[in-house]
Amino acid sequence: MPDGFEVGVSTAAFQIEGAVRDDGRGPSTWDEFMAQPGRIADGSDASIATDHYHRYREDVGLMKELGVDSYRFSLGWPRIQPGGVGGANRAGIQFYDRLLDELLAAGIRPMATLFHWDMPEPLQHKGGWMTRDTASRFADFALLAGEAFGDRVDKWVTINEPTTVTLNGYALGIHAPGATLMFDSLLSAHHQLLGHGLAVQALRSVGVTGGIGITNVHSPVHPAKDTMRNRAHAEVFDLIHNRIFADPVLLGRYPRFPLLSRKLFAPLIEVDDADLKIIAQPLDFYGLNYYMPTRIGSGPPADDTTPDGVAAGVRLLPFHIQAWPEYPTTAFGWPIAPEFLTETLEDYATRYQGVLPPVYITEGGASFDDVVAADGSVDDADRASYLAEHLAAAFAGVEGVDLRGYYVWTLLDNWEWAAGFEQRFGLIHVNAETQQRTPKRSYAWLQHVLRERR
């Protein structure tokens, strides 16, 4: 492990906190979405989740025992600013005050994400990220958070995976708000990026002491066949999934769109230069989530499945995502291919040479169908190997990327969005009925690695 390399665990408020009606929290986009029949694979909801809101002390204790340097979590916007406008909800602020103080007392550096997908419902009803004004509302929220926690947060992430919000939330309807706008959803990408830039300005204006960045998810894209048509489809996927979110932030412009698909990208072509200046705020670090590569084939898909759930809209596309039969897969069916973490870093080294700030892998991890043995233990050797291979790739790094850390997704088995409780990603098993936490073998393995380095 390189000297000073930070290892952390990563979570998101809505997936673990529960307590959706406690202490003045307002309803969110996801509250509404999960209540709609058929949206969540197992019909569950996150109203209790892992009850972290009440058990955060125990959870910080487990992190301390694990020996991580840092904890990435998100601030629930509807908890802090229930209606999405106006002043802060004191009780919401106090919860994160307690959490931050607990972390600092345990010697764990806090990384706080401002938007990990739960938006106050009233803002969603005004159009959410399809409405330009939401970017300014988000900046106001950033200001509240910066004022309240700016003295203690070590690193700020503005938005988590704007890609996933646009593609799953606004284009395909797999995630909240469940819109199926296909390519028209690209306006939500621009507004999130604008919100990111305005939030960076807001945090700086209140003098937060921590570094500021964004988290984008990256998937290296490969055509299934080396034909012109297939390469063109792979390029379109690379644009929608990766480049339209990274280029404006790091290069201050949207990519050049291929002539034949320019019409589809229209919302990103007629963009004001002033917006791009705001989006390209200098950053202290850049967050990258890496889970898997993507192989693109030409022609519409044979069925409705996507890596994150089912979406009828994909049948309208002229390309489809293919499997990687040469790799083992997680319970989600995602290929396990650590060499593509290396390729992710290589993509960044070439695309953003000279402008890339220090990088953190802000998420990486795997879901497996864990088995609880008669004695209560969980021997998830598959997860431990997944982490061993991906951490090794991260430690090796690549030339041209100043990689500073890796955050494991995730601490606890939690509520995995549209998959409900069906996908377990945790280092710690959680019994949904009793809320009992049981560290798995992967937890013991990581603890051992972290102890050895000292």
The site for ligand FCB (CB under 6 A) is made up of: 12, 160-161, 164, 217, 289, 363, 409, 416-417, 425
CB of 289 to ligand FCB, least distance (A): 6
For 254, which DSSP code?
A: P
CB-nearer residue toward ligand FCB: 100 or 292:
292
CB of 332 to ligand FCB, least distance (A): 8
CB-nearer residue toward ligand FCB: 348 or 417:
417
User: Which of 17, 161, 343, 416 does the annotation list as catalytic?
Assistant: 161
Residue 172, classed as helix, strand or coil, is: coil
Residue 286, classed as helix, strand or coil, is: strand
CB-nearer residue toward ligand FCB: 120 or 287:
287
CB of 353 to ligand FCB, least distance (A): 26
Contact 156, 208 (CB under 8 A): yes
Transcribe 82-137 into DSSP letters.
Answer: TTSSSS--HHHHHHHHHHHHHHHHTT-EEEEEEESS--BHHHHHTTGGGSTHHHHH
CB-nearer residue toward ligand FCB: 275 or 363:
363
CB-nearer residue toward ligand FCB: 235 or 416:
416
CB of 412 to ligand FCB, least distance (A): 12
CB-nearer residue toward ligand FCB: 40 or 148:
40
Chain centre to alpha carbon of residue 67: 23
| Cα-based distances in Å from 75 to 81, 113, 186, 272, 319 | 10, 6, 25, 30, 37
Mark 89-118 as b/e (b = at least 16 C-beta within 10 Å). Answer: beebbebbeebbebbeeeebbbbbbbbbbb
User: Which of 121, 235, 363, 416 does the annotation list as catalytic?
Assistant: 363
Contact 14, 28 (CB under 8 A): yes
End-to-end Cα spacing for the chain: 11
Q: Is the dihedral of CA 261, 299, 419, 288 positive or negative?
A: negative
Q: What are phi and psi of 14, to 5 degrees?
A: -65, -25
Contacts for 119 with CB less than 8 Å, ≥ 6 apart: 28, 29, 77, 78, 84, 128, 129, 134
CB of 348 to ligand FCB, least distance (A): 18
Number of residue whose CB is nearest ligand FCB: 12
Paired sense of beta strands 437-439 and 428-430, if any: antiparallel
CB-nearer residue toward ligand FCB: 143 or 418:
418
Our answer to whether residue 363 is catalytic in this structure is yes
CB of 17 to ligand FCB, least distance (A): 13
CB of 359 to ligand FCB, least distance (A): 17
Contact 367, 423 (CB under 8 A): yes
Our answer to whether residue 161 is catalytic in this structure is yes
CB-nearer residue toward ligand FCB: 235 or 413:
413
**Beta-carbon neighbour count of residue 17 at 10 Å?**
30
Q: Write out the two tokens for 251.
A: 């290069």
Chain centre to alpha carbon of residue 241: 13
The residues that are catalytic are: 161, 363
